[in-house]
Protein backbone atom coordinates (compact mmCIF):
# COMPACT_ATOMS: atom_id res chain seq x y z
CA UNK A 1 0.00 0.00 0.00
CA UNK A 2 1.08 3.61 -0.60
CA UNK A 3 2.33 5.19 2.62
CA UNK A 4 1.38 8.83 3.13
CA UNK A 5 3.67 10.76 5.45
CA UNK A 6 2.25 13.98 6.82
CA UNK A 7 4.22 16.66 8.63
CA UNK A 8 4.09 18.22 11.10
CA UNK A 9 2.01 16.17 13.52
CA UNK A 10 1.00 19.32 15.39
CA UNK A 11 0.98 22.87 14.05
CA UNK A 12 0.42 25.79 16.45
CA UNK A 13 -0.84 28.89 14.68
CA UNK A 14 -2.06 32.36 15.49
CA UNK A 15 -5.40 33.58 14.24
CA UNK A 16 -4.80 35.56 11.08
CA UNK A 17 -1.54 33.73 10.46
CA UNK A 18 -0.49 31.19 7.86
CA UNK A 19 -0.11 27.41 8.05
CA UNK A 20 1.54 24.91 5.77
CA UNK A 21 1.13 21.13 5.89
CA UNK A 22 3.23 18.67 3.92
CA UNK A 23 2.23 15.27 2.60
CA UNK A 24 4.66 12.87 0.91
CA UNK A 25 3.78 9.59 -0.71
CA UNK A 26 5.93 6.45 -0.92
CA UNK A 27 5.37 6.31 -4.68
CA UNK A 28 4.25 8.64 -7.42
CA UNK A 29 0.58 9.56 -7.34
CA UNK A 30 0.37 10.18 -11.08
CA UNK A 31 -2.34 7.79 -12.26
CA UNK A 32 -2.06 5.96 -15.58
CA UNK A 33 -4.73 8.36 -16.90
CA UNK A 34 -2.46 11.34 -16.16
CA UNK A 35 -4.45 12.63 -13.20
CA UNK A 36 -3.04 12.95 -9.69
CA UNK A 37 -5.50 11.85 -7.03
CA UNK A 38 -4.28 13.64 -3.93
CA UNK A 39 -6.91 15.25 -1.72
CA UNK A 40 -7.12 17.14 1.56
CA UNK A 41 -9.67 16.88 4.36
CA UNK A 42 -10.40 18.72 7.59
CA UNK A 43 -11.96 16.93 10.53
CA UNK A 44 -13.33 19.17 13.24
CA UNK A 45 -13.86 17.75 16.73
CA UNK A 46 -16.84 15.39 16.83
CA UNK A 47 -17.46 15.68 13.09
CA UNK A 48 -16.83 13.64 9.97
CA UNK A 49 -13.95 14.58 7.68
CA UNK A 50 -14.93 17.23 5.14
CA UNK A 51 -13.38 17.58 1.71
CA UNK A 52 -11.34 20.75 1.20
CA UNK A 53 -9.18 20.14 -1.86
CA UNK A 54 -9.46 17.45 -4.53
CA UNK A 55 -6.94 16.42 -7.15
CA UNK A 56 -4.08 18.46 -5.67
CA UNK A 57 -5.37 21.99 -6.11
CA UNK A 58 -9.14 22.13 -6.71
CA UNK A 59 -11.21 23.67 -3.93
CA UNK A 60 -14.40 21.79 -3.13
CA UNK A 61 -17.70 23.66 -3.23
CA UNK A 62 -17.93 26.29 -0.50
CA UNK A 63 -14.27 26.09 0.54
CA UNK A 64 -12.80 29.60 0.91
CA UNK A 65 -9.85 30.66 -1.22
CA UNK A 66 -7.74 30.90 1.95
CA UNK A 67 -7.11 27.21 1.33
CA UNK A 68 -4.70 26.27 -1.41
CA UNK A 69 -3.18 22.98 -2.52
CA UNK A 70 -0.10 22.36 -4.61
CA UNK A 71 2.46 19.73 -5.49
CA UNK A 72 3.19 16.92 -7.88
CA UNK A 73 4.53 13.39 -8.03
CA UNK A 74 5.20 12.49 -4.40
CA UNK A 75 5.32 15.89 -2.65
CA UNK A 76 2.23 17.92 -1.82
CA UNK A 77 1.39 20.93 0.33
CA UNK A 78 -1.72 22.46 1.81
CA UNK A 79 -1.47 26.13 2.69
CA UNK A 80 -3.96 28.01 4.81
CA UNK A 81 -3.74 31.78 4.93
CA UNK A 82 -5.44 34.15 7.38
CA UNK A 83 -6.29 31.29 9.75
CA UNK A 84 -9.74 31.58 11.33
CA UNK A 85 -11.14 29.78 14.40
CA UNK A 86 -13.23 27.43 12.21
CA UNK A 87 -10.04 26.19 10.51
CA UNK A 88 -8.83 24.46 13.67
CA UNK A 89 -8.91 20.67 13.69
CA UNK A 90 -7.20 17.66 12.14
CA UNK A 91 -6.07 17.78 8.54
CA UNK A 92 -5.57 14.62 6.47
CA UNK A 93 -4.22 13.97 3.03
CA UNK A 94 -5.65 11.10 1.01
CA UNK A 95 -4.33 9.39 -2.09
CA UNK A 96 -6.68 7.49 -4.38
CA UNK A 97 -4.37 6.97 -7.35
CA UNK A 98 -3.58 3.46 -6.12
CA UNK A 99 -5.88 0.90 -4.53
CA UNK A 100 -6.52 0.87 -1.65
CA UNK A 101 -6.80 4.59 -0.97
CA UNK A 102 -4.63 5.57 1.97
CA UNK A 103 -4.65 8.51 4.36
CA UNK A 104 -1.91 10.43 6.08
CA UNK A 105 -1.78 10.19 9.87
CA UNK A 106 -3.04 13.73 10.27
CA UNK A 107 -1.88 17.18 11.34
CA UNK A 108 -3.53 18.91 14.27
CA UNK A 109 -3.91 22.64 13.64
CA UNK A 110 -4.24 24.35 17.00
CA UNK A 111 -3.95 27.78 18.50
CA UNK A 112 -0.53 28.90 19.55
Binding stretches for another protein (CB under 8 A): 35, 37, 39, 48-51, 54-55, 60, 92, 94, 96-97, 99-106
Burial class of 38 by CB neighbour count within 10 A (0 to 12, 13 to 18, 19+): buried
Nearest approach in angstroms of CB 89 to another protein is: 14
Question: Closest CB to another protein among 63 and 88?
Answer: 63
Closest by CA to 86, choosing from 63, 55, 57, is 63
Question: Closest CB to another protein among 83 and 93?
Answer: 93
Distance CA 10, CA 68 (A): 19
Nearest approach in angstroms of CB 43 to another protein is: 9
Nearest approach in angstroms of CB 87 to another protein is: 18
Question: Closest CB to another protein among 36 and 74?
Answer: 36
Closest by CA to 68, choosing from 49, 87, 86, 85, is 87
Amino acid sequence: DVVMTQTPVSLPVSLGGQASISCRSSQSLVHSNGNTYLHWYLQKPGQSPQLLIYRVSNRFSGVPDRFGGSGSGTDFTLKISRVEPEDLGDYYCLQSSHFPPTFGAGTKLELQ
